[in-house]
Amino acid sequence: MATSPASSSPVAASPARKALGERELMWMMAMLMALNAFGIDAILPALDALAADLSVPGNDRQFVIGVYLLAGGLGSLTPGALADRFGRRPILLGAVAVYIVLSVLSALAPTYNALIAVRAAQGFFAAGIVALPPAIIRDRVGGDKMARMMSLIFVIFLMVPAVAPTIGEGILQTFGSWRAIFGVMAVLGVVMGAWVFVRLPESLTEENRQPIVPRAIAGNMLRALTLPSVSGYVIGSALVFGALFGFINSSQQLITQTFGAGDIFPLVFGICAGSMAIASWSNSRIVERFGARRVSHTALFAFIVVAALQVMFAFQGEEKLWHFVPLMAINMALLGFIGSNFGAIAMNPFFAIAGAASSAHGFVRMTTAALLGGAIGYAYDGTARPLALALLASGLVCLALVLWSEKGKLFGPSDADERLGTGSD
């Protein structure tokens, strides 16, 4: 795998072990992120059983998802700064270990309040599983090549949300309890922890290690969030993914209650999530040719158009499942073009402080998206109207923020990239 000169030393393999190649690295980073996604999506088909077992009323069942997402956003501030000082590997291994322990505790939770508390802790302390892969990739590459690699990672990563509800349903049917799903999460965590321990070398160079100085860390994070060419992308992606989280939070009730298709819920969810995987694969094939900005800006305009169609159908009386699913799948596919490219654009200026930048961006994206997604999900009123309106509003505000970051110029490299020569790094 090609590496920058600065990163060649720490990633060199021992003579007895084959070096970690680009393909294995992408699979490892994708499956780490998928481990987190499995912790969210696998429990969806079991929400009815969970609610009945623990006496959870109405929309409150969504909190088992929403609190995990919100706590993950809050927790993402920590691992990046620690990883910039102590290295990516030990912090990542610690995050996986916490995920395993708290998955077991979730399976043993005696009450819903106890489950919510454990899920909040799990989301907070396991945030490194999501926050560190972009920093590890940025240690090696940047620019449009990073966008291509992140797209390929998202292809693999998004396979799991596409099949997680089906797996969760299978576990529920096999073991007869929603608790078994959390047990499987713990087992998968052990597998991933072993893989990382055996195969992942350290990617942070000695010269790029940052001291644990709160003022310096805060300064690095502030810089990562306030650079004008970056902040619009960070906040904008948080908004559109907030609308996506709104779908995830309310998807079980939407498909089961609104459209009366609970028996095919895993299939419907898989179609929508799978469309993101297909889009991410397509993005990986075209992004280095057309550029992250051109691809993601085009996708954002298309997202707004499709969201407008979703609003139209949602307000035409009784919406049909065959209206809802194709449009939702298309918009989730468009998020596949938006997410990885926005992330790569936002990370590109921060090679030396990639960990802090990844944490800061993850904090804003996850907390904003989780809060927005929770509000959208809790606004579920038996129709798809709250979700459709949120998708359209988030797309329009995201466009305004991107225009601000790009000073009104879309579909090309930024002025900063042209000066730094990083547009296709």
Query: DSSP letter string over 19-46?
Result: PPPHHHHHHHHHHHHHHHHHHHHTTGGG
Write out pLDDT tens, residues 350-397: 877 776 787 788 889 889 999 999 999 999 999 999 999 999 999 999
Taking 60 as the threshold, does the pLDDT of residue 64 lie above it? yes
Query: DSSP letter string over 125-179?
Result: HTTHHHHHHHHHHHTT--HHHHHHHHHHHHHHHHHHHHHHHHHHHHHHHHHSSTH
Distance CA 91, CA 395 (A): 35
Pair 307, 402: CB distance under 8 Å: no
Structure tokens belonging to residue 190: 């052990």
State the average pLDDT for the chain.
Answer: 86
Contacts (Cβ under 8 Å, ≥6 apart) of 55: 112
pLDDT score of 254:
93
Per-residue burial over 253-279, b if 16 or more Cβ lie within 10 Å, else e, is bbbbebbebeeebbebbbbbbbbbbbb
pLDDT score of 343:
87
Residue with tokens 């096999």: 174
Pair 271, 419: CB distance under 8 Å: no
Taking 50 as the threshold, does the pLDDT of residue 342 lie above it? yes
pLDDT score of 297:
96
Average pLDDT of the segment spanning 317-334? 92
Write out pLDDT tens, residues 105-141: 999 999 999 999 999 999 998 888 988 888 888 787 7
Structure tokens belonging to residue 98: 């916490």
Inter-CA distances, 314 with 241, 251, 326, 382, Å: 20, 15, 13, 11
pTM: 0.75
Average pLDDT of the segment spanning 278-294? 86
Taking 50 as the threshold, does the pLDDT of residue 192 lie above it? yes
Pair 158, 62: CB distance under 8 Å: no
Taking 50 as the threshold, does the pLDDT of residue 416 lie above it? no
Band of the pLDDT at 16, cuts 50, 70, 90? low
Write out pLDDT tens, residues 66-106: 999 899 889 888 887 788 889 999 999 999 999 999 999 99
Distance CA 385, CA 87 (A): 46
pLDDT score of 10:
44
Taking 60 as the threshold, does the pLDDT of residue 424 lie above it? no
Taking 90 as the threshold, does the pLDDT of residue 232 lie above it? yes
Which ranges of 379-414 would DSSP assign to H, the alpha helix? Answer: 385-405
Closest among 40, 31, 35, 38 to 248, alpha carbons compared: 40
Identify residue 207 by its one-letter amino acid code: E
> What CATH class does 22-199+213-412 carry?
mainly alpha
Pair 70, 123: CB distance under 8 Å: yes
